[in-house]
Amino acid sequence: MSENLTELTDKIISCEACHLKEGRTQVVPGIYGPKSSLCFIGEAPGYYEDKEGVPFVGRSGKLLDKMLEGINLVKQRDLSILNIIKCRPTTEEGNNRTPNEKELRFCGERWLHKQLNFLSPKMIVTLGGVALKFFSPNTSVTKTAGKMINTDSNYQIFVMYHPAYILRNYNLMEEYNSQFESIKQVLNSKLVELSLSEKEQQKTPKQKGEQKSLTDFL
């Protein structure tokens, strides 16, 4: 019998395949939204994510929520949020640290690709340079932020800064706002590309007055 997403997630939660298990409180598998919608991907859990078992909480998570709300998107309802690495990388002193290339490849190739196979996202948004490097090792986040790029992995990636980077560089907030506006435009252009009548026939009709989000059209 083939594995489903719940079974895969159970395996991720009990994974002890690398040394990062030693610094974690718990594994952070991610939040799943609808299949074939958007998928935001960051690098790894930090202190608060490790405590709560959920990606993008704390200050950067709050900023991300606010930016998403600005384009009428809500985590889980409209999109998935995952990290490439599922366990918090820590320094010897117990602080957050950036994962190295080997750690990134090891966990990402073990679990993230399988999650993406199930979710089959129409569009992936990478948050920050580390997440981008996993999909496109030679691409610079500063040169491509706010743009769609093609990668060897067959995924189309929309490149964005990590919200933590924006909190440290608040002068980039205007640019960050326009990156989120670009996501909205890409979603709208996908809406135009689709045959809405065909798509609507596959959906359960919405109740009168119920609001549609952009990802209803993906």
Least distance from ligand SF4 to the Cβ atom of residue 160, Å: 23
Q: Does the protein bind ligand SF4 through residue 15 (CB under 6 A)?
A: yes
Pick the closer one to ligand SF4 by CB: 28 or 127.
28
Binding test (CB under 6 A) with ligand SF4, winner from 5, 8, 18, 149: 18
Asked if residue 12 lies in contact with residue 113, where contact means CB atoms within 8 angstroms, the answer is: no
Looking at 51-59, 105-113, 139-147, 203-211, which segment touches ligand SF4 (CB under 6 A)? 105-113
Per-residue burial over 42-75, b if 16 or more Cβ lie within 10 Å, else e, is bbbbbebbbeeebbbbbebbebbbebbeebebeb
Binding test (CB under 6 A) with ligand SF4, winner from 4, 6, 17, 169: 17
Pick the closer one to ligand SF4 by CB: 114 or 122.
114
Q: Which residue is it, tokens 């859990």?
A: 45
Binding test (CB under 6 A) with ligand SF4, winner from 39, 81, 84, 85: 85
Residue 160 β-bridge partners:
127
Hey, is 92 helix, strand or coil?
Answer: coil
- Phi/psi at 209 (5° precision): 90, -10
Pick the closer one to ligand SF4 by CB: 69 or 109.
109
Looking at 1-9, 85-93, 119-127, 206-214, which segment touches ligand SF4 (CB under 6 A)? 85-93
Hey, is 134 helix, strand or coil?
Answer: helix
* Residue 101 CB-density burial (10 A; 0-12 exposed, 13-18 middle, 19+ buried): exposed
Binding test (CB under 6 A) with ligand SF4, winner from 51, 97, 105, 110: 110
Asked if residue 51 lies in contact with residue 92, where contact means CB atoms within 8 angstroms, the answer is: no
Q: Does the protein bind ligand SF4 through residue 27 (CB under 6 A)?
A: yes
Identity at 155, one-letter amino acid code: Y
Pick the closer one to ligand SF4 by CB: 110 or 114.
110
Pick the closer one to ligand SF4 by CB: 25 or 213.
25
Identity at 121, one-letter amino acid code: P
Pick the closer one to ligand SF4 by CB: 16 or 69.
16
Binding test (CB under 6 A) with ligand SF4, winner from 68, 81, 87, 116: 87
Q: Which residue is it, tokens 């998928």?
A: 39
Interatomic CA distance for residues 4 and 46, integer angstroms: 28
Where on the chain is the footprint of ligand SF4 (CB under 6 A)?
12, 15-18, 20-21, 27, 85-87, 106-107, 110
